[in-house]
């Protein structure tokens, strides 16, 4: 397919994009973001886009899966981009250094567009670059983002364009975000052509929800149950009485109990508690909020009550949960000492994955 078939906007020169890679970044969002740019160049036969990988240093940067990429430039170089996108992944807080935050603040002054994908919006927020902006981020770091950066308007959308800020969730969602970006600059025909080349049946809209419990067929067939769950999810910090949940869902308390037991195999009270404890686990692992603060954020009357409930249902104390988020350096030493082998990249990735709040579970 040639450029005469796909008209382009000749008023736009080569659009330069820099991808800042943080240690343990996720590889899939990075490739999803770069491939539409490559394909736009390929389909038109023109250099519409140019991109570089940026590192904190000249050393290779490790992805969450252990694959290492060598950056084209470092934050110490003199750089000039139209768009800078931060790419993060697991343990984003531990892998965000003050020097990087300072660089982002500086580069934003001369860069027309700034972006973050997967968990990277947390980094942009830390640099003060999302205050007053709407923002999308991977669902696992939304709780931390909302609690630690109240000036950021978080949403549950797949991705968000808000003035000079582009933010996206993880997985393949950056693919859709970047197709929208290309289409906005050079027309829908190019966007559709890129989608076809990637065998993508449709380009997803920015405002589609990233992870919605309500999408399960159970909830589609049981709207009253869906209403009740939505009420619970919206009232974590100040839990509402189950009688009020039933009343707002326009069913009796007995019907509410029957729906939860029949379709979810759990009582409404236990389900509600599970939601609050899941939120607590995210906050424990991803924020520096005190245990007392987190107990309040998750609707517990006191820190001791929270600690007892957490230990009983999650299998460890809140303090142990917070310690568990740290990189398992001692585990690696024990593995080496006991077997004489150094863990390979896939084993290391599995160890890191076990620290994630969603390890061993599928989204509801």
325 φ/ψ sector (left φ>0, alpha ψ -120 to 50, else beta): alpha
Greatest Cα pair distance, the chain, in angstroms, is 69
In this structure, the answer to whether residues 88 and 169 fall within a common structural domain is yes
Would you say residue 111 lies in a domain?
A: yes
CATH of the domain at 160: 3.40.50.880
Measured between alpha carbons, how far is 237 from 67 in angstroms, rounded to an integer?
40
| Residue 317: Cβ-neighbour burial (10 angstroms; 0-12, 13-18, 19+) | middle
Measured between alpha carbons, how far is 191 from 201 in angstroms, rounded to an integer?
12
Would you say residue 118 lies in a domain?
A: yes
In this structure, the answer to whether residues 179 and 292 fall within a common structural domain is no
Residues 6+ apart with CB under 8 A from 241: none
CATH of the domain at 313: 1.10.10.60
In this structure, the answer to whether residues 184 and 280 fall within a common structural domain is no
Would you say residue 133 lies in a domain?
A: yes
In the prediction, which pLDDT does 71 show? 95
Domain carrying residue 268? 214-324
In the prediction, which pLDDT does 24 show? 92
In this structure, the answer to whether residues 177 and 237 fall within a common structural domain is no
In the prediction, which pLDDT does 93 show? 84
In the prediction, which pLDDT does 146 show? 80
- 96, 22 Cβ separation under 8 angstroms: yes
Would you say residue 204 lies in a domain?
A: no
In this structure, the answer to whether residues 228 and 167 fall within a common structural domain is no
In the prediction, which pLDDT does 359 show? 40
In this structure, the answer to whether residues 174 and 291 fall within a common structural domain is no
Would you say residue 6 lies in a domain?
A: no
In this structure, the answer to whether residues 146 and 275 fall within a common structural domain is no
3-state secondary structure the chain: CCCCCCCCCCCCCCEEEEEEECCCECHHHHHHHHHHHHHHHHHHCCCCEEEEEEECCCCCEEECCCCEECCCEECCCCCCCCEEEEECECCCCCCCCHHHHHHHHHHHCCCCEEEEECCCHHHHHHCCCCCCCEECCCHHHHHHHHHHCCCCEECCECEEEECCEEEECCCCHHHHHHHHHHHHHHCHHHHHHHHHHCCCCCCCCCCCECCCHHHCHHHHHCHHHHHHHHHHHHCCCCCCCHHHHHHHCCCCHHHHHHHHHHHCCCCHHHHHHHHHHHHHHHHHHHCCCCHHHHHHHCCCCCHHHHHHHHHHHHCCCHHHHHHHCCCCHHHHHHHHHHHCCCCCHHHHHHHHHCCCCCCCCCCC
Would you say residue 230 lies in a domain?
A: yes
In the prediction, which pLDDT does 322 show? 82
Overall number of domains in the chain:
2
Would you say residue 149 lies in a domain?
A: yes
In this structure, the answer to whether residues 19 and 117 fall within a common structural domain is yes
In this structure, the answer to whether residues 40 and 187 fall within a common structural domain is yes
Measured between alpha carbons, how far is 96 from 144 in angstroms, rounded to an integer?
15
What does each of the 364 residues of the chain score in pLDDT, given as a tens digit? 444 456 666 678 899 999 999 999 999 999 999 999 999 999 999 999 999 999 999 999 999 989 999 999 999 998 999 999 999 998 888 888 999 999 999 999 999 999 999 999 999 999 999 999 999 988 878 877 887 888 989 888 899 999 999 999 988 999 999 999 999 999 889 999 999 999 888 888 887 877 555 455 666 678 888 889 888 988 888 999 999 999 999 999 999 999 999 888 889 999 999 989 988 887 887 777 889 989 998 999 899 999 999 988 888 889 888 876 544 333 322 223 233 333 444 455 545 554 554 443 434 4
In this structure, the answer to whether residues 175 and 240 fall within a common structural domain is no
Would you say residue 307 lies in a domain?
A: yes
Phi, psi at 165, each rounded to 5°: -125, 135
In this structure, the answer to whether residues 136 and 251 fall within a common structural domain is no
């Amino acid at each position: 397919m040639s450029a005469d078939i796909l008209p382009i906007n000749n008023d736009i020169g080569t659009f330069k994009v820099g991808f800042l890679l943080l240690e343990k970044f996720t590889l899939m969002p990075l490739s999803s973001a770069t491939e539409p740019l490559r394909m736009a160049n390929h389909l038109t036969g023109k250099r519409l886009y140019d991109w570089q990988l940026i590192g904190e240093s000249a050393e290779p940067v490790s992805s969450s899966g252990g694959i290492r990429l060598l950056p084209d430039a470092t934050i110490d170089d003199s750089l000039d981009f139209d768009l800078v996108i931060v790419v993060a992944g697991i343990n984003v807080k531990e892998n965000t250094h003050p020097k990087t935050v300072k660089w982002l603040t500086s580069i934003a002054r001369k860069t027309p567009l700034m972006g973050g994908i997967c968990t990277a919006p947390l980094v942009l927020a830390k640099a003060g670059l999302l205050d007053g902006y709407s923002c999308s981020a991977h669902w696992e770091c939304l709780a931390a983002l909302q609690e630690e950066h109240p000036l950021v308007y978080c949403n549950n959308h797949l991705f968000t364009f808000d003035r000079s800020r582009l933010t996206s969730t993880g997985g393949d969602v950056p693919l859709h975000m970047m197709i929208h970006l290309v289409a906005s600059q050079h027309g829908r025909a190019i966007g559709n052509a890129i989608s076809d080349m990637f065998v993508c049946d449709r380009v997803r809209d920015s405002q589609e929800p990233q992870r919605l419990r309500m999408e399960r067929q159970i909830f589609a067939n049981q709207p009253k149950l869906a209403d009740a769950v939505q009420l619970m999810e919206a009232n974590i910090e100040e839990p509402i009485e189950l009688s009020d949940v039933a009343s707002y869902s326009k069913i009796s308390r007995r019907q509410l109990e029957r729906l939860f037991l029949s379709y979810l195999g759990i009582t409404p009270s236990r389900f509600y508690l599970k939601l609050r404890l899941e939120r607590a686990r995210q906050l424990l692992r991803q924020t520096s909020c005190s245990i007392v603060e987190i107990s309040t954020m998750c609707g517990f009357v006191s820190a001791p009550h929270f600690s007892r409930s957490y230990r009983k249902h999650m299998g460890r104390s809140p303090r142990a949960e917070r310690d568990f988020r740290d990189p398992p350096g001692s585990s690696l030493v024990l593995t080496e000492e006991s077997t004489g082998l150094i863990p390979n990249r896939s084993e290391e990735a599995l160890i890191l994955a076990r620290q994630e709040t969603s390890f061993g579970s599928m989204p509801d």
